[in-house]
Structures are given as C-alpha cells and as structure tokens.
Amino acid sequence: MFRKPCGSNGPSLAVVTFALAGCILLSCCFQESSAIAIAPSTFGTAIARAGKISNTLKKDTHVVVTTSAGKIRGRFQKFRSGERGGYYSFKGIRYGQAPVGERRFRAAEPERNWSGIRDASREGNSCPHKNMILDTYKGNEDCLFLNVFTVKMPKGDYNPELPVMVWLHGGGYSFGSGNTFLYGPDYLVAENIVLVTLNYRLGPLGFLTAGPDAPGNQGLKDQILALKWVRNNIAAFGGDPNHVTIFGESAGGSSVQMLLLAPMAKGLFHRAISESGSALNPWAMGESSVARAARLAANLGYVGANDTKEILEFLRRVPPMKLVEASPTTLTEEDFRNNIGLPFVPVVEGYWNKPGEEAVYYETPFITESPQSMYEQHKFHKNIPYMTGYNTHEAMLFIRRLRKNPKLLEIIENDFTRLVPRDLNVTDERERVTREIRQFYLGNKQVGIESVDEMIALLTDLMFVHGIMRTVRNHAKYSNMPVYMYRFSFDGALGLYKRMLGLQRPGVCHGDELGYLFKFGFFNLSLDPKSMEVLVKNRMVRMWTNFAKYGNPTPSNLNDDLLSTSWLPVNGEGAMNNLTYMDITTHLQMKNNPELERQQFWDYMYEHYNGNAM
C-alpha cells in the first residue's frame, strides 16, 4: 500500500535515538570530512567564551526606563549585521524572584520593587543546566531574567507601540538560555518589532513532579510570569502589550503550543509560532509520577522513608549542580526503550487527586488534561492565529556520545520495537506493527550505515513531523483563526546545527532555520548581499515579523517584492486530506501534503489501530 522512502549514496552515517538538542533526536556517527564549516572543538571554545562575548560593553548612549518595579538603564548599540543604525538593548531584567528554598519546585514570585536605577547592560545568569557541547555545568538558580531589544523608544507624548515578539528557546527542557550568543536580535528588530528573550527553569528545577508541593511545569509557569511582565511593562519600551506574538523552536515550539492550551495564559499573547516542536511530539510530555523524584533523591544519597514530603525537603537542600548532574540517572531501561531520554519535561498536573475526592492544588495548575483531549473539548485559546512547521531532516544530528557507545546501532537493530510510538495502542499487536514500520522505512535493510536516509526519515517523522501535522489539523479543525504551515528545506551556510556540529551531509537539520532569524555571536560570515542565504534570511525575517504584525506572513496589500508568493492558510474542511504549506527554499512555493507517502502511512497506522488518524 505504501512505498518506503528512497535512499541515497551519501557519506557513511549511523543513526540512533538520543535525548538532546531540544527533544529526542538522532545521534549520528559519520565518516569525518576534512571540509568542515566549523569544527565542534572550535564551537566549544566559542561557547566557553559566550558570556564574555555577549556582555562586552562599549561606550554607547545609555537610556533609563521606568518599569512597574523600578528603573533600569540600558544602552544603544549598533547593528552587528551590517545595517546602518542600531537598537536599544536592555539585558538581564529580573522578572521573577530567585525560586530557591521553599520556592524550589514551585511557581516563582514576581520581582519585588526596588529603588535607584538597576543596570541592564549585561545578561543575567542562565538557569542551571549542562552545556550541550562541553558537557559542563553552567547557571545559577537566580536566573529569571529577560532581555528587551527595540529600535524605537517612547519620547515625550510619542509611543511607537510596536508589535512584540517573545522568544522561547529550545533545549529539550533541559539546557539553553535566551541570551544573545545564539539569539542576537539584529535581524528581527530591524523590521520594527520589539524582541523579548528570556530564561526559564530547566531540568529537575523546572519540571520535577512530586505531588501538590512540586506539581511540575515550573519552567512553563516561568514563561507565564515573563509574559505578565511583558503585559505590564513593554509599553515603556515602545511595545504594544495588546500585540504580542510568542514564538519558539523545539522545546520552545512545544512550549508555545502548551501556552495555547494553558488557561492561565489567556490574554497574555495574540499570535503564536512553533518551529520544529509540538506538544504532541513524544518527547514533549512525561508521565506524572513521584517515582522519578524518589529515584533522584535516592541516587543523591537519600536513605529515609518513601515519604514525598521528606523527599522534597531533601531535594530542596541539594545544590543545583548535583540535581542537574544526577538527572540522567533517574532514567530507567524502559524509558530508553520508549525513546524517553529526557527525565524532566512538562506533565499533566493533578495526578495526585483521587477520583471522587475534592481536587487539591497548592497553586494554579498549568494544565490538568492531555493536550489532545483539550483540543477535542475545545479547551484552548481558539482566537489565536498560529504558524508552525519543520525542517526537512530534523533528525540529522551528530551527537558525539554515540562514539562512546557504538553498540547503540546494534541495540536498535535487535530491538526495533522501541520505535513504536507510545500513543499507538498496539499492546497485543506490537510485533506486527513493528514489522510494518520497519518494512515501510527500511525494506530489507538493517539499521546501519546503509540505511541512514531511511532512519533519518523515520525518526524525523516519529519525533517531529507527525505530531506537528496533528497539531495543524487540530487548529484547522477546532480554531477560529487561520493556521499556517511551512516546510523549511533551504540547505545553506547559515544552518545552525550543521555548522555547530561540523556536519557535511546534505539536508536541513534540526535548528538550521535559526540562523535565518537570529544573528549568532560566533558566526562572522561575510556573505555576499546578493547571496541566496541573504535572500532566504530576508524572506524568513519578513514573513515572521509580518505574521507578528498582521497575523498573516504575506499580506496581499503590502506589495512586497521579497514575497511574491501568497502563503495560504490550511483549509479547515480539507485539513485531513489536503494540508497546504509554504515550502521555503531558494524560492517560495505553496504546495500540498508534505512527505505525502510517509504522512499517509502514519494516518493509516493511527486510523487502523487507534480508530483516529489524528
């Protein structure tokens, strides 16, 4: 019924699942090429210097802004991207009190008022995490900071009231920050929007669950607190609090969709963009359980009774570095078999409440039902225009950890059943389903270097595309506003992860679109203004900021020479059988049904075994 994806004779590469880079991804092992764009070791050195790079000050014009909590002093700086002029920069603005002591594992409190003028020229601490490349600990629990960038400030009675874009960074809910080393504002603010980037709690500090006193989703509640700060303060920076777009990539893209579902987020934003991430991806939600918190405590030396209160008291005394470093030890063999390599991610709260008894919550919950159930019951923010999409080869990542365990390929070959999605209800037919998936993607090939293209396609679909397409269909079916879908297929010099990891294989990797939206602190490329990279970057930035301004990435009344193709929304009536999308490559082209045969295969599997293709 279905034809398997075609392979190609590319460089040798072996693929396995692994948890990193914003979600469950591929770990890839390939024959090294001498023509590497930027070696991983060089990138590691750059990361080690990142704080110094992004915090270097020059004698620029300073400006003071009065927020609801007190005054801050930012500065004016020139564009680093070659354009004339510059923008106002306010870094390290505290939006929440340090979530320490009894507030660890709980929702944070807003920042207190202060007197005097606080400096806002340096970025604040990142939240505790392990660096992706260097595998070293970084951060501080006092990390609830955000940054604001804008080209126009209020003056006298004039307020530009620019649209606001709030960025939520990726990192598998376990690492990263919103700082300018990766997310420089130069491209976006030049289009007359106010950009806000922020830090939120990660790993066990952001997502540990252990009953009502540690309900989970602390990191998502940090995002809510930051959005409340934006609502209350962004007008002082020339932004319009009634014109806020949230956007994010990978775990940040999943966060955006979570916020579309969360009742407490109502009214805090007005448009939304998810890049390469969905709440319906298998890595985006975990099972609510005290067991992982108990394992974490035990692995850190706790020897008391199996009492949740005592476990939390113990964990609240453990230094954050030890919590972060011990997190992977909480994963069980079954976790790995189910492709769950991220120990602490968002959960459905209220799991401790017993049926028939009054619900117990110590703080307002983020969500208390599964995302799919909330869509079906129309329990989401339906009046928000939404844009989402993916990169063609999301799962094409080289992770050096694979070299430490070359048997991972053999493990998957001998236990292919682990690739059956958890939400495919096939307990009694698991072997049959395993054979069907294997036959469709691999045919007669084994998991190995000879099946690299097929494995990339399989894991791209499992971990990203299928969940994103389900998301598009849900919004097209249940929302009152348009949903726009894209497929990013331009393989150029600004691809972030490929350059970061020294990958030479053709294809557009997870995270590669970020280089066309943000100015990276470690890329000093001298691109020809007439190059295709610059054209694609200009188009991406224009479409993203158009969506923030107008709710439409290609408004017909603008007569923009950059955007000669109209981006049509997905038709709600025909979303099940005809997904319209914008293919973004060397040109812009509207197409139907991306990855059609692969999409049809998974539609068939879910309809046949679950009774619902969605």
What pLDDT digit, counting tens, does each position of 147-182 carry?
999 999 999 999 999 999 999 999 999 999 999 999
Spatial distance between the Cα atoms of 15 and 455, rounded to a whole number of angstroms = 7
Helix, strand or coil, per DSSP, at residue 132: coil
Q: Is residue 51 part of a domain?
A: no
Average pLDDT over residues 361-367: 97
Same domain as 391, residue 269? no
Give the pLDDT band of residue 2 (cuts 50, 70, 90).
low
pLDDT confidence of residue 270? 98
Task: Report H helices in 316-406.
Answer: 320-326, 333-337, 371-376, 401-404
Q: What CATH number does residue 147 fall under?
A: 3.40.50.1820
DSSP state of 184: B
39 in a domain, yes or no?
no
Last residue of a domain, one of 257, 275, 293: 275
Q: Which domain holds residue 497?
A: 385-410+460-605
pLDDT band at 26 (very low <50, low <70, confident <90, very high): very low
On whether residue 54 sits in a domain, the answer given is no
Assigned domain for 173 exists: yes
Q: Which residue has the tokens 């495919």?
A: 424
Q: What is the DSSP string of 413-473?
A: HH-GGGGS-TTS--GGGHHHHHHHHHHHHHTTPPSSGGGHHHHHHHHHIIIIIHHHHHHHH
- Greater confidence (457 vs 24) lies with 457
Residue where a domain terminates, one of 254, 275, 296: 275
Q: Model pTM?
A: 0.92
Q: Residues, the chain, total?
A: 614
Pairwise CA distance, residues 520 & 313, whole Å: 41
In a domain, 370, yes or no: no
Residue predicted with more confidence, 522 or 99: 99
> By C-alpha distance, which of 138, 402, 390 is closest to 250?
390
Give me the pLDDT at residue 56, please: 42
Taking a C-beta distance cutoff of 8 angstroms, is the pair 534, 528 a contact?
A: yes
CB 349 within 8 A of CB 374: no
> What pLDDT score was predicted for residue 288?
76
Q: Quick one: 233 and 85 in the same domain?
A: yes
Do residues 213 and 82 both lie within one domain? yes
Q: What would you report as the CA-atom Rg of the chain, rounded to the nearest whole angstrom? A: 23
DSSP 97-120: ----GGGTTSPPPBPPP--SEEE-
Residue 578 lies in a domain: yes
Average pLDDT, the chain: 87
Q: Give percent above pLDDT 70 in the chain.
A: 87
Lowest-pLDDT range of 257-261, 418-422, 571-575: 571-575
Secondary structure class of 542 (helix, strand, coil): helix
Answer whether residue 306 is part of any domain: no
Lowest-confidence pick of 337-351, 582-596, 597-611 = 337-351
* pLDDT band at residue 21 under the 50/70/90 scheme: very low
Q: Does 100 share its domain with 240?
A: yes
Q: What is the DSSP string of 269-300?
A: -SEEEEES--TTSTTS-----SHHHHHHHHHT
What does the pLDDT average to over 242-262?
Answer: 98
- Vertex 161: Cα angle to 155 and 165 (nearest 5): 125
Active site residues: 250, 394, 510
Name the residue type at position 302: Y
Is the residue at 75 inside a domain?
A: yes
First to last CA, the chain: 20
Query: Which of 8-12, 189-193, 278-282, 607-611 shows the lowest mean pLDDT across its residues?
Result: 8-12
pLDDT beyond 80 at 443 = yes
pLDDT exceeds cutoff 70 at 312: yes
- Contact, 260 vs 383, CB < 8 A? no
297-328 per-residue burial string, b: 16 or more CB within 10 A, e: under 16: bbebebeeeeebeebbebbbebebeebbebbe
Q: What is the pLDDT of residue 129?
A: 97
**Bridge partners for 88 per DSSP:** 76, 150
pLDDT at site 133:
67
Please check whether residues 271 and 389 belong to one and the same domain.
no
Q: Which of 275, 300, 322 is the last residue of a domain?
A: 275
Q: Is the pLDDT of residue 140 over 80?
A: yes
Number of domains in the chain: 2
